[in-house]
Amino acid sequence: MAPLAVHLGVGGRVPAVDLQWILLIVGVAVVAAAAGFFLVGRGPSADEPTAPGDVLTEPRPDLPDRGDTLVAVPPDEEAPPVLEALPVVEAPPLKPSFRDRLTRARSTFSGYVGSILSRSAIDAESWEELEEALIRADVGVGPATELLDSVRATVKEQGLTQPAELIEAVKNEMKSRLAGSVELKRSNSPPSIWLFVGVNGVGKTTTIGKVGRRLTDEGTSVLMAAGDTFRAAAAEQLGTWAERCGAELVRGAEGADPSSVIFDGVAKAAAQNLDVVLADTAGRLHTKSNLMDELSKVRRVADKGEGSVVEVLLVLDATTGQNGLTQARQFTQAVEVTGVVLTKLDGSAKGGIVFAIASDLGIPVKLVGLGEGADDLIEFDAGAFVDALFEE
């Protein structure tokens, strides 16, 4: 090797023979380090964070689960290609449930139920608390007394002594009083006409929108007839719902005769072979006899053409409590009401009105509004409703 002089620092010199040794040692060290890297495991240790692209056997709680299938790969197999991001599929909206939306109504009941359950036996106070809970929930004095009389008879007959048994007996009695068909009828000769009636602002137009959405989603063809010619914005509102769900719309000029608008709607639906006509009517005070007469006329005229009126749905606002019962009585006299739609139950502590309607008028509650959204309408389910009221 030719003698070389290498400068170290400012003035140091290293002899050529020493330099060869240094190069040899450095070379060996590099080779040893590289071998160590490959031998001492390639994956991260259990407590090291995983790098992107790593494959896991367990889902990572810190990552959204996209449903990808992840497979463990032995350390010396070649890693699979990184998974392509899957397209995000939107989940269908969850149906609202009584359980989630009846928090206000439940809050009326839960204190009483807790107190009754905390006792060691059924005593006089248990009955008093039950009665108070029912009246505060707007079941009404008459229906509450009737209901508790039946429960007393059951308690005696079956020799019940435990508070939990008492609560179960009350729930069963409530469920049996509310049981009934919630099915919305269809006419044998289409179109089926469903008329929506009620006082101002109870949610008629919104309910028609929600019902239209449900029907069109299941493949039923729908026409919405804007029979609320009194409030201009109502027809606009209905038009928006119709557009959103792909329903036909018939509307008249402001102040037009609502009977003729609905009649035209039925005629158009018949001409186009549509299945259901959802007919809106203006909100009216049940105490105004001329307006109630107008409603009787709407009902008669709607039935004159093809198809027939198979549902007259009285829309009631659950937050008005016992007043809803007075409305129901008056509307039933003007038009034969076939079912009730109870709206705004999501914001009401007065869910008990359901019992008052069932026992006083024998009209079934068929639909329930649990919010303002298009999907916030469900069929009335007596079992789920009563269970939700009593949940602690």
* Nearest-angstrom CA–CA distance, 289 and 321: 23
Q: Choose which of 126, 192, 320, 343 interacts with ligand GTP (CB under 6 A).
A: 343
Of 231 and 297, which CB lies nearer to ligand GTP in the complex structure?
A: 231
Task: Check binding of 350 to ligand GTP (CB under 6 A).
Answer: no
Of 20 and 240, which CB lies nearer to ligand GTP in the complex structure?
A: 240
| Structure-block tokens of residue 144 | 């509450």
Is the distance from CB of 97 to CB of 379 less than 8 angstroms?
no
Taking alpha carbons only, the member of 205, 203, 210 closest to residue 373 is 210
Q: Residues marked as binding?
A: 198-205, 280-284, 343-346
Task: Check binding of 340 to ligand GTP (CB under 6 A).
Answer: no
Q: Choose which of 111, 180, 239, 347 interacts with ligand GTP (CB under 6 A).
A: 347
Question: Which of 134-142, 211-219, 244-252, 342-350 is the region at the interface with ligand GTP (rule: CB under 6 A)?
Answer: 342-350
Of 100 and 125, which CB lies nearer to ligand GTP in the complex structure?
A: 100
Is the distance from CB of 68 to CB of 88 less than 8 angstroms?
no
Min separation Cβ 292 and ligand GTP, Å: 14
Task: Check binding of 105 to ligand GTP (CB under 6 A).
Answer: no
Single-letter residue type at 252 = G
Min separation Cβ 208 and ligand GTP, Å: 8
Is the distance from CB of 191 to CB of 274 less than 8 angstroms?
yes
Q: Interaction with ligand GTP in 273-312: which residues (CB under 6 A)?
A: 283
Task: Check binding of 206 to ligand GTP (CB under 6 A).
Answer: yes
Q: Choose which of 344, 351, 352, 367 interacts with ligand GTP (CB under 6 A).
A: 344
* Nearest-angstrom CA–CA distance, 97 and 117: 25
Of 192 and 206, which CB lies nearer to ligand GTP in the complex structure?
A: 206
* Nearest-angstrom CA–CA distance, 246 and 213: 8
Task: Check binding of 346 to ligand GTP (CB under 6 A).
Answer: yes
Strand partners, 367: 341, 379
Question: Which of 72-80, 259-267, 369-377, 379-387 is the region at the interface with ligand GTP (rule: CB under 6 A)?
Answer: 369-377
- DSSP character string of 79-141: PPPPPPPPPPPPPPPPPP-HHHH-HHHHHHHHHHHHHHHTSSS--HHHHHHHHHHHHHTT--H
Single-letter residue type at 221 = S
Q: Residues marked as binding for GTP?
A: 198-205, 280-284, 343-346
Of 143 and 321, which CB lies nearer to ligand GTP in the complex structure?
A: 321
* Nearest-angstrom CA–CA distance, 140 and 145: 9
Of 305 and 321, which CB lies nearer to ligand GTP in the complex structure?
A: 321
Min separation Cβ 366 and ligand GTP, Å: 14
For helices 141-158 and 124-136, the axis angle rounded to 10 degrees is 150
Is the distance from CB of 166 to CB of 147 less than 8 angstroms?
no
What residue ranges bind ligand GTP (CB under 6 A)? 198, 200-206, 228, 231, 234, 283, 343-344, 346-347, 369-372, 376
